[in-house]
Amino acid sequence: MKVLVVGKGAREHALCWRFSQSPKVWGLFCASGNPGISRIATPIDIEPDDIGALLRFAESQKIDLTVVGPENPLALGIVDEFERQGLPIFGPTKAAAQLEVSKSFAKTLMREAGVPTAEWESFEDPDAARRYVKARRRPLVVKADGLALGKGVTVCDDPDSALAAIAAAMEEKCFGEAGTRVILEERLTGEELSFFALCNGENALALGVVQDYKAAFDGDRGPNTGGMGAYCPVPRYDRQFEQRVMDQIVHPTLTAMAARGTPFKGVLFAGLMLDSDRITVLEFNVRFGDPECEPLMMRFEGDLAEALLAVTEGHFEQASVKLSSRSAATVVLASGGYPGEYATGLPIAGLEHIDGAEPSQLKVKWAIDRVRVKAFHAGTALRDGRLITGGGRVLAVTAMAASLERALGAAYEAAAMINFEGKQLRNDIGRRAVESAGSQQ
């Protein structure tokens, strides 16, 4: 099989890495890729949003399966274009991608499908939105309706901050057209988790729950980022919990999407809020999460190409979708200052301790402990053959081991070996889960 992966971050590196281990895959391409991906896949110099060029490439190369990482090409209709030409592609159509692209669409669908979500109202008139804020007593969340690079959500402590967020989105146009319509919703409290399911339009298979870390700094402080770390499985969330999410959320969503004539194919990513026994959907995404994809791909045991092709063709091969019972954890190394302003072009040192051919002491120790470690590239670049930083999130250091504690230990050992000026990371990924497991023993 010839596989094309669309995207250029650590999520796509993890997908390519898993594809590169499939005996069925003899041609692997990535558009546009990054220096880490280029070691295992042929880089194609086409931007992920350039659908016309991607289509021409896939046709000329007779690509058997295209897998899309980021949401933008999906929102632009890459799947519709490929399907029209009879090219197999894993992901939702433009109409089905509305689940992520428009928050009011997602909320309306959840209402129709009886999927539990925070109480909400949508507004196109800022004065009406302000009246709603004044009439409400409870804390609110203000969300720009459209795609806003993950920045369109303001969790408000008081009415004044809600009013300011409405003005910023609707009048100051901070998020451009994405803020023409705004959702005001009840602010929920609890624990957040990411849930992933592979969907073929009618049916779904659970990939499971992943814990991610959105805030920039330890203790969930600081601004929200694209994600600073992740791990799975999450100890307290077992098969029974997964089944509840499938029954209460995934299946009703698929049924409602199919009933509208826009069946959902691809990976459904539900952002969940858990409060004692209540599961609520905060948002849907229509793609793998980043960094959630990295620990998931570490644990994926089946043949990824076979599995995603089967889903794309509408049937499931249950046997090819299997995750290891071991734990995997990702620690993101970011540029100093991220998610605000940061420098790029800084030399990265130490990756050879993890990826190089030399058998280092650390590698021997990991081999004895049966630990697997990979540094997936997020924002890296090459200058004169040397690896430099090239983005906010630079590397997603991922390890898999028999327990979460060991996986985290190895990921942090590896993270400490890699250096670049201003390296920023969270030191508390998975800490609470490990501590609470320890206190239960």
**Helix 159-166 / helix 126-135 crossing angle, nearest 10 deg:** 170
Total residues at interface with ligand AMP (CB under 6 A): 13
Which CB, 43 or 271, lies closer to ligand AMP? Answer: 271
What does the DSSP 8-state code read for residue 318? Answer: G
**Residue 35 contact partner, candidates ligand GLY, ligand AMP, none, CB within 5 to 8 A by sort of partner:** none
CA dihedral over 363, 434, 212, 281, signed as positive or negative: positive
CA 115 to the chain's CA centroid: 21
Determine how many CB atoms are found less than 10 A away from the CB of residue 182: 29
- Beta pairing class for 65-68 and 42-44: unpaired
Q: Which residues contact 356 (CB under 8 A, 6 or more apart)?
A: none
Site for ligand AMP in 121-150 (CB under 6 A): 141, 143
The CA dihedral of 275, 281, 286, 291, to the nearest 10 degrees, is: -20
By CB under 6 A, name the one of 40, 53, 76, 155 that touches ligand AMP.
155
187 in contact with ligand AMP (CB under 6 A): yes
Strand partners, 395: 333, 377
Give the binding range for ligand GLY (CB under 6 A) out of 39-47, 170-178, 242-250, 286-294: 286-294
Spatial distance between the Cα atoms of 290 and 400, rounded to a whole number of angstroms = 17
The helix (H) or strand (E) run that includes residue 104 is helix 103-113
Minimum distance, C-beta of residue 401 to ligand AMP, in the bound complex (Å): 28
- Pick one of ligand GLY, ligand AMP, none as the site partner of residue 163 (Cβ within 5 to 8 A by kind): none
Exactly one of 34, 66, 102, 285 binds ligand GLY (CB under 6 A); that residue is: 285
Question: Which residues from 193-222 bind ligand GLY, rule CB under 6 A?
Answer: 212
Residue 192's binding partner out of ligand AMP, ligand GLY, none, with CB under 5 to 8 Å set by partner kind: ligand AMP
Contact with ligand GLY (CB under 6 A) among 64, 145, 185, 292:
292
Residue numbers 347-366 binding ligand GLY by CB under 6 A: none
Q: How far is the CB of 118 from ligand AMP (least distance, A)?
A: 4
Among 1, 15, 25, 118, binds ligand AMP (CB under 6 A): 118
C-alpha to C-alpha distance for 151 and 157, rounded to whole angstroms: 17
344 alpha carbon, distance to own chain's centre = 23
Binding site for ligand AMP (CB under 6 A): 118, 141, 143, 153, 155, 185, 187-188, 192, 214, 271, 282-283
Binding site for ligand GLY (CB under 6 A): 212, 227, 285, 289-290, 292
